[in-house]
Amino acid sequence: MNVFGLTDMGKVRQTNQDSFKIVQMDDLYLLVVCDGMGGANGGKTASSNAVDAFVCSAAIKIDAAGGDKDKYEKALRDAVADANKKVYEMSTESADLAGMGTTLCAALTDSERIWAVSVGDSRIYKFARGRINQISHDHSYVQALLDSGSITVAESKNHPNKNIITRAVGTQEEVEFDSFLMKFDMDGLLLCSDGLTNFVSDSELNKIFKQNNSAEDTAKAYIDAANAAGGGDNITAIVIKK
């Protein structure tokens, strides 16, 4: 597998509140993207600490599984809970960090399967047979309106409350999240923050994926495309090419 991640501040923000990490463990790759919120200090603190806590917890639990892949999904679920605990405790201990939180999307992959989790509106996409499909489901106000039929997809693109998320890591003592288990019967995977998806359409993401051979070139092209479209937010992308 070919794996590469990249983050960029964009053209408008003064700080980068996105964080990501890629960890290889023998035949496994652990990938995580977080997009922080809560002011300049709070957002970065939330995302970076969530990434570190998640990776540390997941790595320990995966190692403890001793190769039993049936335990990997629980390892990721427990890691989300541990990341939430870390960020929440930090937010309650400092007035400057009160109310901070972060999205989180993560995947654990080998050559056969993908285990994934998501909280918030950072996304996971798969690419297969020339098509792009979003695996994760946004936990956002606008997505709730879409799910209820209150607005159309076209109306959602420029909705004034587009950036309001309904779930986040660290904002409450307990966190709700989605988890997935899939066969790795695809050409690749993308984990990204909304600084990419708010400025680059799914069809353009698919086009760029098909135009670039390496994960590194693809990730760089995604950053360039988001910046060319205005770069109105921090941009993070992790790409896997199988």
pLDDT in tens, 92-147: 999 999 999 999 999 999 999 999 999 999 999 999 999 999 999 999 888 888 87
**Could you tell me which residues come within 8 angstroms of residue 37 by beta carbon, excluding any fewer than 6 positions away?**
17, 43, 46, 100, 101, 102, 103, 165, 168
Mean pLDDT for 14-20 is 96
> What distance in Å separates the CA atoms of residue 8 and residue 14, rounded to the nearest whole number?
11
Q: How would residue 40 be classed by pLDDT, with cut points 50, 70 and 90?
A: low
Quote the crossing angle between the two packed helices 215-228 and 202-211, to the nearest 10°: 140
pLDDT in tens, 70-92: 999 999 999 999 999 999 999 99
According to DSSP, the β-strands at 178-183 and 113-119 are antiparallel
